[in-house]
Amino acid sequence: MILQNDELFVTISNTVFRHTRTGNRQFIFDPDALQGFFDGVNVKRTETTRPNQWGDFSEPGLLGARHITLTGAAVASSPEELLSMRDEFTALLSHGEYKEISVQNSVQKRYITVALEGSPSWVQKIDTTAVWKLELYAPDPRMFGPQQSIQITDSTVSGGIDYPMNYPVNYGGGIKVMAVSMFNAGNTEAWPVFKVTGDFMQGFSITDGGDNKITYEGIVTMTAPVTIDTGAGTARQGGIDKSVNLSKREWFNIPAGKSIQPLFLPKQDAAGWCDIMFRDTWI
């Protein structure tokens, strides 16, 4: 990797790996730098033979996990500093759990959740320089942009409309609800999360602005909000799975490079709002 106008930074916890050296005590990428992150992903498929016929049964092809490799050198000002860098490097992800890391170039920053795969390699070359290799495993091959949040409110609570507001405004069912636009700049589907807070004793519905609707018929209060995760297909309240209260489950996403205008439809007029969290999503 020889970058003239672009740049590359990978951040794991508080450790930064960079494309160029600007001083001592730095982890610098070598020409191979970062492998497996910007690549595509393997397809995993179940092959079921069709007896007495050509070929196999048609099975859906799902994408597999992502394997990421980082390689480079560690540059220090003294042997003591190099040993300290070695300890910092080998401690990365050593807890065995999954952690979100970031990869940033001159265009944008993307995030992916990884764990350690294989043993980190550290070979000292001279007194103040060592070469290293770090292998990571991402069970979810998707990469995400920063989280974005939008709030839909029931404008009849205070007798007016909150500003600033987005158009169009829907006045259906005797309850005023504002439609907002959510755009996915990624290249694969983004699955939003809806958190409903308020005194909605009869529940609520959420639509994608089209034909798909999710309806929750449980009790919602200010102290017990409900979180609808369209990707997981669940409804949770107070850390407990309340999906049994979902009477309609027409799960929807934000298509790649497109937008939707979700609507929040409480079944009765009450104080409350709906927070929508989503992230641009790439594969």
The kind and range of the H/E element at 169 are strand 169-170
Which of 72, 70, 8, 62 is closest to 36 using CA atoms?
Answer: 70
Phi, psi of 131 (to 5 degrees): -105, 145
- Level-2 CATH architecture, domain 148-282: Sandwich (2.60)
CA distance 84 to 92: 13
pTM over 0.85: no
> Whole-angstrom Cα distance, residue 92 to residue 16?
11
Residues 6+ positions from 43 with CB-CB distance below 8 Å: 61, 62, 63, 64
Architecture of the domain whose range is 8-142: Beta Barrel (2.40)
| Number of helices (H), then strands (E), in the chain | 1, 26
pLDDT value, residue 178: 53
Rounded CA gap, 151 and 171, in Å? 17
Q: What is the pLDDT along the chain (283 residues), one digit of tens a residue?
A: 677 888 999 999 999 999 999 888 999 999 999 999 999 998 888 888 888 888 888 888 888 999 999 999 999 999 999 999 999 999 999 998 999 999 999 999 999 999 999 899 999 999 999 999 999 999 999 999 999 999 987 543 333 334 344 444 443 343 444 557 899 999 999 999 999 999 999 999 999 988 999 999 999 999 999 999 999 999 999 999 999 999 999 999 999 999 999 999 998 888 899 999 999 999 9
Nearest to 267 by CA among 248, 254, 251: 248
Domain boundaries, the chain: 8-142, 148-282
For residue 143, what pLDDT is reported? 96
